[in-house]
Amino acid sequence: MTQRRMVVVGGDAAGMSAASAARRLKDPGQLAITAFERGRFSSYSACGIPYWTGGLVDGPGALVARTPEEHRRRGIDLRMRTEVTELDLPGQRVRVRDLTSGQESWHGYDDLVLATGARPLRPALEGIDAPGVHGVQTLDDGQALLAGLDGPDGGRAVVIGAGYIGVEMAEALLRRGYAVTVVEKASQPMSTLDPDMGALVRKAMCGMGIDVVTGTAVTGVRTGPGGRVAAVATAAGEYPADVVVLGLGVRPETTLADAAGLPLGEYGGLLTDLAMRVRGHENVWAGGDCAEVLDLVSGRMRHIALGTHANKHGQVIGTNIGGGYATFPGVVGTAVSKVCDLEIARTGLLEAQASAAGLAFHAVTVESTSRAGYYPGAAPMTVKMLAERRTGRLLGVQIVGREGAAKRVDVAAVALTAGMTVERMTALDLGYAPPFSPVWDPVLVAARKAAAAVAAG
Amino acid sequence: MTQRRMVVVGGDAAGMSAASAARRLKDPGQLAITAFERGRFSSYSACGIPYWTGGLVDGPGALVARTPEEHRRRGIDLRMRTEVTELDLPGQRVRVRDLTSGQESWHGYDDLVLATGARPLRPALEGIDAPGVHGVQTLDDGQALLAGLDGPDGGRAVVIGAGYIGVEMAEALLRRGYAVTVVEKASQPMSTLDPDMGALVRKAMCGMGIDVVTGTAVTGVRTGPGGRVAAVATAAGEYPADVVVLGLGVRPETTLADAAGLPLGEYGGLLTDLAMRVRGHENVWAGGDCAEVLDLVSGRMRHIALGTHANKHGQVIGTNIGGGYATFPGVVGTAVSKVCDLEIARTGLLEAQASAAGLAFHAVTVESTSRAGYYPGAAPMTVKMLAERRTGRLLGVQIVGREGAAKRVDVAAVALTAGMTVERMTALDLGYAPPFSPVWDPVLVAARKAAAAVAAG
């Protein structure tokens, strides 16, 4: 049998999951696997950077799930600090540059996996590249940020953007002793929630001592001595800053793919079929943050940068290249986060997303508790639920609360996947015992209210 | 319009939920609602008794969701300490006895709701009715138990039966300073789990200082001075006891219904249709612990005494009597519990239940953690999953772990309800962030292993 060649571009979650899954199915005599990573770390949890920054976890080692050496011992030729600079699809080869030596060479493939990840949005503003302004997308980024942080009472930090990364970094910097200001263009933090739910997050963040400035666009970064960041300038005035973190979200890193003429979607991510094959290309695969995913609720493609999707994509790609069969059916838009003891979760569509998808809906909000009201530690929880008009199909759930709030959204994620109606959800057999839930779980309370709204028309 | 009459037998979860739901739809001029309760408490959380016993919550007041006075203010004529002694179905009336005065009278109805609950199993053994031997089914039971407990270092307690109530009461008595022995006939505690998962519970309970005696039948209760309990006798010897708690489970309390010729199932519970109408009786309804429920996974009727089902039943019955429409489609067998910091959960079928239902299956077990491995507080968790052969349909999940283990079973409960395959579950979009889950949620890890087993045949 001829040995086939699998080449992976990007050595993080999607790429190395693909490599590992393929290796489990094919031994090196059947399949040679080479992976190129331009950074210094492989298979790491970028999601852990805020907790490393905040001193909750050690880094960077603890955030690495599998080191380059471990991959190599498993028969994967992982080359670090090696950047792929060009894809030659007709020639079935990639050009790579060794970032240490500067040497370039071509590598042929039978199957090519693109797992190039995402890059943080960095607005074209004066001073945005000044020392002290940090993205937090890679472990290399995290290392650069930590090297620049001062002692426990370090000064002033400004976080630009109040999405998941923004609020998590706000907590981290607060833990490090910084006075933290979060500047957000939108009217509320967490634009991944509806504004009414975002308002709950704002209130809680303010209670933690975080300065939340919303409805305010950043206009520039002012530098001080040595060209280092000194302040963030906004339409509403200047916020002094010893350190600035970019939490504006990310874009798919698809420069190479674009140059090679591969199909990109509305958000700039690679478009694939359900087996994670790039559309129209039999032997090119893409997964993780560089790819768009099908939103099963709206029927649209979206870009969602999340390690859990990247791992699943990699698993699917590697299984298929290894001769097995797997698909990634799509997502329902689940995301969970926390800032201090506040838990924030969503799945499915927001009001604006549902409208944009052409869906009419009823939206209800309920207050409940994480445990039986009389049980110690019962914490308040707000659950918002959207149900389609007439059909009563669940469209989305948002939860803001304390302990026990975030993972409750999983119930809604499964119900969305199954296309369940809110009426059917009212009878779901969810776990009940006083330490874990009121006798009506908060999600069921919301479902009852939503079902009543649907019935009332 | 003629005023109709709704009569409710039993003033706890199912009965008073039915009364309340009907009252929300019909005002007193349209519907007279009379409820009879033989005990001293209405609408209470019997599930809270272990936490009251353990001193974690106040009682009995805190465990009462709605007092008789509150019900009466809402236009429900709730009569306490009043026992229904006979059902006259052809005459559409019930005979009631005022337990205070001893007076009896007949009350006519148009709709009759049977919510007579369950009674604890009390084996026919010598001494089983001795003072100091307690059931924990009602708040009256709880009050009697607490009145008999000594100070913080109270002596020796024996719990007979190591099911949910048994392990919860073991924790409670441990908290009260008792030396606790749990005696269980089966080979492992928690016979609501497979024996291999029950063994994990045993190990944890022993670690907490609870003496767990399994494979041992109780043969009698020895009494001491004043006829009070002194020890529990077993085939393996005597266990001294100052207090004994019965945790052998419950049976539907259907004496009245049986005498009236209503249809009872295999477990002695009332049989209803999906609207919770007693089969063959247009105007008789039953819900809560006195009724059997359809198990959606096995297709069989089961008896599951659980407050959350009782509340749902009541809601369905009251909605239907009030002129609305609602059904209770059935259960999937979800139950969660804890003993100290150990969380125990199950949903769907155990191995033995699946076999008894004629299902062939693959069973897999995985070890995972509640959070990203590197995140503080990540706790180990064991997940067992059963999937049907060939179809790959999820049949059941059992979880034993620490914080964050129990409510994870809800994901499986929804997947069971939707008839999902384990292959489809591998791609579920569950919430991921390091404080809440590893990048592959433990349930997904189990689904992957189960899907692989199904694929391998």
> B152: pLDDT confidence band, cut at 50, 70 and 90?
low
Instruction: With beta carbons under 8 A apart, name residues in chain A contacting B333.
Output: 429
How many angstroms separate the CA atoms of B321 and B301, rounded? 24
> Please, which residues bridge with residue B231 across strands?
B222, B240
The residue assigned the tokens 């050496």 is A69
Q: Please check the confidence at residue A151 and state whether its pLDDT lies above 90.
A: no
Chain-centre distance for alpha carbon B86: 27
> A429 CB near a chain B CB, below 8 Å?
yes
**A417-427: pLDDT as tens digits:** 999 999 999 99
How many angstroms separate the CA atoms of A186 and A206, rounded? 16
* CATH 3.50.50.60 is right for the domain spanning A4-118+251-321: yes
* CATH 3.50.50.60 is right for the domain spanning B122-248: yes
**A221-256: pLDDT as tens digits:** 999 999 999 999 999 999 999 999 999 999 999 999
Closest chain B residue by Cα to residue A51:
B375
Average pLDDT for chain B: 96
Q: Please check the confidence at residue A152 and state whether its pLDDT lies above 60.
A: no
Instruction: With beta carbons under 8 A apart, name residues in chain A contacting B309.
Output: 429
> B151: pLDDT confidence band, cut at 50, 70 and 90?
low
How many angstroms separate the CA atoms of A214 and A187, rounded? 5
* Residue B128 CB-density burial (10 A; 0-12 exposed, 13-18 middle, 19+ buried): middle
Q: Is A439 in contact with B56 (Cβ distance < 8 A)?
A: no
Instruction: With beta carbons under 8 A apart, name residues in chain A contacting B320.
Output: none
Instruction: Please give the pLDDT value at position B120.
Output: 87
Nearest Cα of chain A lies from the Cα of B221 at a distance, in angstroms, of 30
**A174-206: pLDDT as tens digits:** 999 999 999 999 999 999 999 999 999 999 999
CB B130 within 8 A of CB B221: yes
Instruction: Please give the pLDDT value at position B2.
Output: 84
Which residues, other chains included, contact A96 with Cβ-Cβ below 8 Å and sequence gap of 6+? A36, A79, A82, A83, A84, A85, A104, A105, A106, A107
Nearest Cα of chain B lies from the Cα of A327 at a distance, in angstroms, of 8
The residue assigned the tokens 């100091």 is B132
Task: Fill in the DSSP letter of residue A290.
Answer: G
- In CATH, the architecture of A341-451 is 2-Layer Sandwich (3.30)
For the domain made up of B335-456, give the CATH fold: FAD/NAD(P)-binding domain (3.50.50)
Q: Please check the confidence at residue B1 and state whether its pLDDT lies above 70.
A: no
Q: Is A376 in contact with B57 (Cβ distance < 8 A)?
A: yes
SS3 category, B82 = strand
Look up B47 and say whether it is catalytic. yes
Tell me the torsion sign for CA atoms B346, B351, B356, B361.
positive
Alpha carbon distances (Å) from A405 to A323, A345, A369: 41, 8, 9
Instruction: Please give the pLDDT value at position A153.
Output: 63
What does the angle CA A98 – CA A99 – CA A102 come to, to the nearest 5 degrees? Answer: 70
CB A245 within 8 A of CB A134: yes
CB A376 within 8 A of CB A435: no
State what percent of residues in chain A have pLDDT above 90. Answer: 95
Sequence ranges of the domains in chain A: 4-118+251-321, 122-248, 341-451
| Average confidence (pLDDT) over B333-358 | 97
Residues in chain A: 457
**B53-96: pLDDT as tens digits:** 999 999 899 999 999 999 999 999 999 999 999 999 999 999 99
Alpha carbon distances (Å) from A414 to A383, A409, B104, B107, B176: 16, 9, 53, 47, 41
State what percent of residues in chain A have pLDDT above 70. Answer: 99
Q: Is B410 in contact with A409 (Cβ distance < 8 A)?
A: no
How many CB pairs below 8 Å do chains A and B form together?
Answer: 210
Q: What is the DSSP string of B288-306?
A: GGGB-EEBTTT--EE----
What does the angle CA B188 – CA B190 – CA B193 come to, to the nearest 5 degrees? Answer: 95
Which residues, other chains included, contact A38 with Cβ-Cβ below 8 Å and sequence gap of 6+? A81, A82, A83, A84, A99
Q: Is A439 in contact with B328 (Cβ distance < 8 A)?
A: no
Phi, psi of B65 (to 5 degrees): -75, -35
Please report the residues numbered 394 through 413 in chain A whose beta carbons come closer than 8 angstroms to any beta carbon of chain B: 404, 406-411, 413
Q: How many CB atoms lie within 10 A of CB A340?
A: 17
Instruction: Please give the pLDDT value at position A120.
Output: 87
Q: Please check the confidence at residue B153 and state whether its pLDDT lies above 80.
A: no
Q: Please check the confidence at residue B265 and state whether its pLDDT lies above 80.
A: yes
Picking from B267, B332, B259, the residue whose alpha carbon sits closest to that of residue B119 is B267
Q: Is A57 in contact with B414 (Cβ distance < 8 A)?
A: no
Q: How many CB atoms lie within 10 A of CB B209?
A: 10
> B391 CB near a chain A CB, below 8 Å?
no
Please report the residues numbered 27 through 56 in chain B whose beta carbons come closer than 8 angstroms to any beta carbon of chain A: 45, 47-48, 51, 56
State what percent of residues in chain B have pLDDT above 90. Answer: 95
**A266-285: pLDDT as tens digits:** 999 999 999 999 999 999 99
Tell me the one-letter amino acid at B393: R
**B417-454: pLDDT as tens digits:** 999 999 999 999 999 999 999 999 999 999 999 999 99
> A427 CB near a chain B CB, below 8 Å?
yes
Instruction: With beta carbons under 8 A apart, name residues in chain B contacting A328.
Output: 427
B353-392 b/e (C-beta count within 10 Å ≥ 16 → b): bbeeeebebbbbbbebbbbbebbeebeebbbbbbbbeeeb
A4-118+251-321 and A341-451: same fold?
Answer: no
Instruction: With beta carbons under 8 A apart, name residues in chain B contacting A58.
Output: 374
Q: Is B407 in contact with A409 (Cβ distance < 8 A)?
A: no
Instruction: With beta carbons under 8 A apart, name residues in chain A contacting B343.
Output: 436
Picking from A173, A321, A320, the residue whose alpha carbon sits closest to that of residue A242 is A173
Picking from B183, B188, B190, B159, the residue whose alpha carbon sits closest to that of residue B172 is B159
